[in-house]
Structures are given as structure tokens and as C-alpha cells.
Amino acid sequence: MVTVVLTLGLSMAVQGYMNHLSGIDEPRGQVSRATGGVPGAVAEGGPVVDPRGDGVRTATPSDHTVALTFDDGPDPVWTPRILDVLREHGVHATFFVTGSSAIKHPEIVRRMAAEGHEIGIQTLTHTDLSAAPSWRLQLETRGAQKVVAGITGNSPSLLRPPHTSTNATTTDGQWSAMDAAADQGFLTVLNTVNSGDWRRPGAEVITGLLLQPGVQGQVVLMHDGGGNRSQTVDALSAALERQEKSGISFTSVGDSIGIDSTRKASVGDAILGKAFVWGIRLTDAVVAAISWGLVAAGIVTLLRAVLVMVVAARHSRAVRKSREAERNRGWFEPPLRVEVTEPVSVIVPAYNESAGIEAAVRSIAASTHPVQVIVVDDGSTDGTADIVEALELPNVQVIRKENGGKPSALNAGIAAAHHELVVMVDGDTVFELDTVHVLIQRFADPRVGAISGNTKIANRGGILGAWQHIEYVVGFNLDLRLFDVAECMPTVPGAIGAFRREALARVGGVSHDTLAEDTDLTMALCRDGWRVVYEDDALAWTEAPATLGALWKQRYRWCYGTLQAMWKHRGAIAQSGPAGKLGRRGIGYLFVFQVLLPLFAPIVDVFAIYGLVFLDPVRIAVVWGIFLLIQFIMAAYAFRLDREPMRALWTLPLQQFVYRQLMYLVVIQSVVTALAGVRLRWHRMERYGSLRVPAATQERS
């Protein structure tokens, strides 16, 4: 994946260099040259400058001869029209092409060569060579030369550096660039007459400049790219129609001074040129594909935000109306929903949970609902079972077994459970007094096989705790409401979940097949036809990782296990009924938002850097701001639904720079590990002892 990101980054850098550091800007006005650096032979000589070898030679077109030159092309609109005018009058001209434009329109360059026109270069990206370091000067000139060689099979030797004008106005920097380009075999072509067509002075004005009287030959500068060149086309046509009467001969630079500036490119140069052209076109295609992918990802992200908030509002309204109707029913009216009062077996799998097991067990044992608490010690070496037994709580049972993993501990607890309803809870989780009672009420519906509670972060202090708190409230609980309404719940979290023993028996208990046994079990229940629902008022307080390393291990296990469960239950996509809803809705949702988009996230970050460097930084900042605003609105709404204080949301912008990257790197590593066929071992989480039994719970116990 690192290779992919680096390759895409390189593609974007190349594409950005070729297309966004280039651009045809307006020619500069006449500037005074610096004194002392430019040889007199150049300052006072002809417009074709040859610094190759010893000394400097210059040349001027023959008398009554005008060399027509065109800069800044090829352009898909104006260059063909100029070529049409030249062909109509049987005149050849010199086109100084920009490499980046030639790559975009190779067919026009080939037409120039096929119709006998002379092709020169104006660098790769229309950069000012007078200010360019030597490496860039070589890249700009040799790169443009290779582009033309790759397209036409010919290697040009004429160069017109951007922003140059006449001999007299040549600056020291421009001369240095011309001299350095000569070492690569280039002749520099300046101009003696600037048509000023880029100012759009009118076709008649341009025509007058082309036909101005004078015996001495001229090199006329015009433009076939960089803007609207309709006046150039009209002026050229008018001038060529009047050339016989004027006594002027219009031709190319090479013909005007009697040289052949084009040679056949070597096989190596032609192959290298073709590879260069196709490489640049490939990077353009890659960046275009990424751009469309970003648009699609943005639309999907926006739709998801709208969807989860709308569905969460519907879920909240339905729950609120049900409770209000129950409160407002008449004294003698029967209850709208039968209250579930039967006792519950609560299973707590524990492996080296000495830091928090006392708080967890005390909180559950003090429940307002009748419970049997079964703590299954899975081969702990830190005295976890001893701590529980020392509490001497009457409704708490300890089972000691050899270490076999969490699924085996849960299955041992299920086998020892006395009651039909079973609650499973992690050993680092604390319940409220009424959590069990509130959690199981939806078992009044016989179709319900499992219920997810609302998991809260207990140790939310510090920025890492705040980020996880936001993730639980927004990313988990909003999704759980969506899954509840859509009847496609993929996960009942291990921190708090209630199950029917009948449902557990029908799917064979808790499976060892994946590292996400909670997701695997939930998907199995859905495929067996059971409804799985969410109860947001059943609160469980759990301990979150306090270091980035611990967080990485936890999320790596979760993500890898979820991928395993999705693959195991992929057949649900083709099923009907509850299983089909899980497959097409639940697993589809997980695949898009927990696999595809995180895999695409590094590309988003690389593109953001690309945008800041090569595009408009303000526009990129605005887009990022809109994205952050959507995240904030969704988070604020989720916090409001969960009746949580908003103060943690100040960390949300920072979450985008650190936490989000950590999460998508976890997904990338998990996907790569899964594709490689590596089977991970269970990662035990580090415990910190931050859990506290609620005050009311302590009094009751």
C-alpha cells in the first residue's frame, strides 16, 4: 500500500508540474537588459542566436523575408485554424510548442510536421528559464525536445525561451539560459517584430505589423495558443492575401536563414520520447480518475451523513413516542408493551482483568433487575478470580478454566447460565443500576434474538480519550440506530449485549472462527432469521485504550476480525429475508464505509497536499472546511441525541490530522494481512483501573 501511495504521489507531482506549474501568461513588456552580461554580438545582432562552440554567431532573415513564428501552442481551437490559413496560401511557418500542450494535442503536432512546418520548442511548461536552476533548465528543454521526438520522430533544435523578446532587451539571466541551452545543441530564436496579438489590438493593426515596410528581413512573433486568437487568424489571412503586392515573402525561420533545424530523432530518443508522452498522459488519467473518485467519495460521505442523521432522528422519535404513550396510558389500560421481568444470566469473560474486575462485577451484581452473574476466569495469572471470590456477593459465581480464548469463556458461561435471557459483558465494563432491565425490554418481541446496548467511554480525559469518545458517540451509536431501523445490525458489541439462549443454541454458540466474535455471532443470528436491535438507554461504561499503541492493537483486532466475519458471512448477500438485509445493507455498508473509504483516505490526503501545492490553496481549504462542517454537524447531532456535553467537540478538527490517519492505516494493514492469508492471534488489551462503580451502585451493593 505504501508503494501504491508513493506511486500515486509521484503521479500527482508529475501531473501537477506539467499542468499546474505551467500556463501561458501574458508576455512581459519590454525590459531593459542588465549591463555587462550580454555579449554585444547578441545585443546588436540578428534574432537567431547560435552560442554553440567558440564565440557567438547570429543571423537575420533575408531581405524582404518575414519568418512567421507562433508561440504558446498547440491549441485545439486556434492552431488548426492557423494551419488551415497557411495551407490555403502554401506558406510554412515555425511553431514553438510547449511540451505540456503538445502532449495533450499530439495530433496537431503531427499535422504541423506532415504539412512541412518547422517545429521548435518553448520549454516543457512555459517556465521562465532566466530564473530556473540548471536542473530545471535541462528538464524543460530536453523534456520538450523528447516530447516532440516521441510525437513526430524528429528532434527540434530551435528554442524560444518564454518571456524573451528582441536582442536589445535580452537580460543577463536570459542570456545565461540561452548559453546553457546551446550546450544541449539549441539555437535561440528571438523576434524583431512583436505583433502584440495577445493584447487583441484588432486584426488590421496586426496585419499592418506583418506588412510593415522595410528591406531587412524580420522574425514576427504571434501566438496560436494562450487565449482567443481569432484576430491572429484574421490578420494572418489578410496579410498572406496581400503578400504578393507587398513584395514580402513569408516563410519559416529555418528557410529564412537557409538552415535545416530539424533532424531525425535517434531510435533511443524516439522510444524515450514516446514513453515520456505516454507516462505523462497516464499521470493525467490517474489524477482525473482520483478527482472523480474524490467527487464520488464526497457525495457518498455527504449522503451517509444525511442518511444517518435522518434515520437517527426517526429512531429517536419512535422511541420517544413509545415511552410517552406508555407514560400517558390510563390507570386501567393495559400496558402497551409487556414488561420483561424474568431474571437474567450475565456472563463476564475475564482474562487478567484484575485492574477493573471488581468495579465491573459490583456494578452488575447491584442491578435493579434480578441477575445471575457468571465470571468465567479464562486462565488468568493475576488473581482475577480471587478478587471476585473475595467480594462474596451472593448472586456471583466464578468459573475457573484453562485459557482457551474469549469465545470458549463465553460458551462456558452460556452452559452454566440458569436463565433464558443472557447478557454478555466485557471485564472492563461498568453498568448503571438499571442497565440490565432497560437492555432486555425489547425481548418482549419474540422475533428479537439479540439487543445491543449503548457503550460509553469512561476514561475520556485527554485528547486521545476525547477522540474515542467522539468516535463512540458518532461513529458507533449513530450507525447502530441506522442498523436498527434498516434491520441489518452487523454487530452487538462485546461490552454490552443481550441474547436469547435459544438463539445462541441455534447458531452453535460463540464461534472461534474470527477475532471479532461479537460481529461473527451477530451476523450468524441475523442469517438465522432473528431481529437484532439497539437500545440507546442501556448504558455501559467501558475503558478505552490510553496510548496510540494500545489503540492500534485494539482496532487492528477489531478491523481484522470484522473482515473475517464479512468474508465468512458473504453468502448473506444472495439470501432473502433477514439474512439478505444483513448482506445487502449491513455488510454492504461496512464494506463501503469501513473498508473502501478508509483505503481511499490516504489518496485523499495525498491529493490535499497536491491541491495545496499545485492548485488553489484557498479552494482546498474551503473544501476541507465544508467537510469538517459536515462532520461537526453530524457529531453535534449525535451528542444531542445521546445527551452528551458538547465540550469534547473542540478536538474534532485535530482528529482529522492524527486519529483519522491512524484508523485508515489500521484498515490498510488489516486488508493487506487478510489478503496475505495471515491469521492473527488474539491481542489482549491493556487495563488501567480507571473504572469506578457508580455511587448509587456502591450503596446498593
Q: C-alpha cell of 455?
A: 457503550
How far apart (Å, rounded) are the C-alpha atoms in residues 158 and 81? 23
Closest CA relative to residue 144, chosen from 161, 130, 169, 132 = 161
Task: Give the integer Cα–Cα distance in Å for 546 and 617.
Answer: 35
- 456, 540 contact by CB (below 8 A): yes
Q: Is 71 one of the catalytic residues? A: yes
User: From the centroid of its chain, how far is CA 461?
Assistant: 30
CA distances to 2, 198, 524, 534 from 489, rounded to whole Å, are 33, 64, 11, 8
Quote the cell numbers at residue 550. Answer: 494500545
The SS3 assignment for 684 reads coil
Task: Kindly report the backbone phi and psi dihedral angles of residue 113, in degrees, each rounded to the nearest multiple of 5, phi listed first.
Answer: -65, -40
Q: Let me know: does 64 contact 89? Beta carbons within 8 Å.
A: no
Known active-site residue 434: no
The Cα-based distances of 186 to 17, 53, 160 in angstroms read 23, 12, 9
Residues recorded for the chain: 701
CA distance 651 to 660: 12
Which contacts of 9-15 are long-range, i.e. CB under 8 A and separated by 24 or more positions?
A: 9/606, 9/609, 9/610, 11/282, 11/283, 11/286, 11/287, 12/283, 12/286, 12/287, 12/290, 12/606, 12/607, 12/610, 12/614, 13/610, 14/279, 14/280, 14/283, 15/280, 15/283, 15/284, 15/286, 15/287
Catalytic residue among 71, 197, 224, 377, which? 71
* Residues with Cβ within 8 Å of residue 171, at least 6 apart in sequence: 31, 33, 34, 37, 38, 130
Q: Which residues contact 270 (CB under 8 A, 6 or more apart)?
A: 149, 150, 153
Cα distances from 694 to residues 316, 461, 701, in angstroms, run 26, 18, 11
Among the listed residues 92, 163, 223, 469, the single catalytic one is 223
Q: How much of the chain is helix, strand and coil, in % rounded to 5?
A: 55, 15, 30
Beta strands in 3-85 (DSSP E): 48-50, 57-59, 65-73
Catalytic residue IDs: 71, 223
